[in-house]
Chains A and B, each alone.
Chain A
């Protein structure tokens, strides 16, 4: 024993260390069990150490990068500022595109639901005279636009085509002093002449003091001027005052409320009745139209007899008969030619529709849907 501890001490310790580890190894292999505790301790200790080292290294590195190594920071800052400015411009452009897409979608929906035949147009320019309210459209005579045609948006009347050129058309807005149109109020059916005022509001002339008219009442086109079809929303009476003999009425045009970018030119106008001003009971909350009725579905050909179908189809059929009775072909008349008389009832006409249009303008007049 003394020999082992003194003379062969090193070899004895070596043998002990190796045999001990061999036994540990053999135990693990034989029992297929790991010495989990040792591993957990080792891994935990090393992980904590490395985390602390990594944190310290990260702090030192961050200090170095943020306060010492600043080569090229100025150039990078300038580059990033330029990129930021470009991205802001891009974001602004994309927002504008998104708004344009929304308006175009609303316009398309309104166009598909309108009884009148219309063509969509984009406003590409304004008039040169300061106080005139004139714009230019990107459609013209080549697309069927003619002088005197009405220009509308889903929100209401916009103006009238003053001059149609081959590729563009000049439109007088209804706020221009030279503009005039026949209008009728929704609730009391008061008729008058809408005239531009050169400002944001239009006035309605020729309404006597004795006639009843409420403030906030809607005006629609009356169709009497034979320029605009009946039933187009015009605006809300903002000011109603008694004058000397005639009322002083100022109307806020609904068609210009949301700005103008895209409009519809009415190629073939179709009169529609002015919707009734029935107010829903206050305790009732109207639901929006079901999804199926929000979209216009084309029936299969031959599935519906002529003259039947929606009110708009009835009106369309009525005006087709009027045109045939008077020998008028829609879309063929020269600019300024006499339009057919829509007030003459055609022979053998189907039942006249008396229902309001299905699409009131946004924030539009009071109508009772789903009648």
Chain B
């Protein structure tokens, strides 16, 4: 055993700790977001407009900047949301897969830590998410429901307003967890 092998072992240990933290956040956050989406509006109906699973998908896609991980994250979150909805499985899954992929692709090109960029991207992806879901429901399920542009724009604005501080809180949580894993 020499100093070089010790350094290698310590590096592997840190990598495993970081991976554990990443897996925990990958599993816990989407579940918490879907739970919030399902149960909290029962007690507080006015928070029903919040699309937290979408915000979680956008955040991790922007943060990871890895299209494959992000699209899988979006697919998993969307399928979980589908499982608790009255729609066939795959509607939210497809939409959030695309959102995850495009958000990760955009994250490579922009400074995604800027609040204004986050606000704009969240607003755009919310509208994209709603529109794509409407298109899929109309095309694949034959649902003849209308699409309200004004309502989608307004709700996109609301979600964007919430997303900026939420992303900041998540930044703090992730960085703290990552630092803690490095200190172990």
Q: A: which residues have CB within 8 A of B? A: 9-10, 13-14, 17-18, 21-22, 24-26, 28-29, 34-35, 38-39, 41-43, 46, 49-50, 53
Contacts and interface: CB of A to CB of B under 8 A. Distances in A.
Contact of A38 (B71, B79, B141): B79
A21 B93 contact: yes
B159 interface: no
B140 A25 contact: yes
A41 B76 CA distance: 14
Contacts of A34: 88-89
Contact of A43 (B68, B83, B88): B83
A14 B140 contact: no
B57 to A, nearest CB: 13
Specify the main secondary structure of chain A where it touches its partner: helix
Given A28-B89, A50-B35, A21 B75 contact: yes
A10 B31 contact: no
User: Which 4 A-B pairs give the minimum distances between C-beta atoms?
Assistant: A42-B83, A25-B90, A28-B88, A21-B90
A13 to B, nearest CB: 5
Given A38-B83, A49-B35, A50-B35, A17 B89 contact: no
A251 B141 CA distance: 96
Given A14-B71, A17-B72, A35-B89, 18 more contacts: A9-B68, A10-B101, A13-B68, A13-B71, A14-B68, A18-B98, A21-B90, A21-B97, A22-B94, A25-B91, A28-B88, A28-B89, A39-B83, A46-B80, A49-B31, A50-B35, A50-B38, A50-B39
Contacts of A53: 35
A42 B84 contact: yes
A193 B20 CA distance: 107
Contacts of A28: 88-90
B107 interface: no
A254 to B, nearest CB: 67
24 contacts: A9-B68, A10-B68, A13-B68, A14-B67, A14-B71, A14-B101, A17-B71, A18-B94, A24-B89, A24-B93, A28-B88, A28-B89, A29-B141, A38-B79, A38-B83, A39-B84, A42-B79, A42-B80, A42-B83, A43-B84, A46-B31, A49-B31, A50-B35, A50-B39
Contacts of B80: 42, 46
A295 B131 CA distance: 81
Given A17-B97, A46-B31, A25 B72 contact: no
Nearest to A39: B83
Contact of B38 (A10, A18, A21, A46): A46
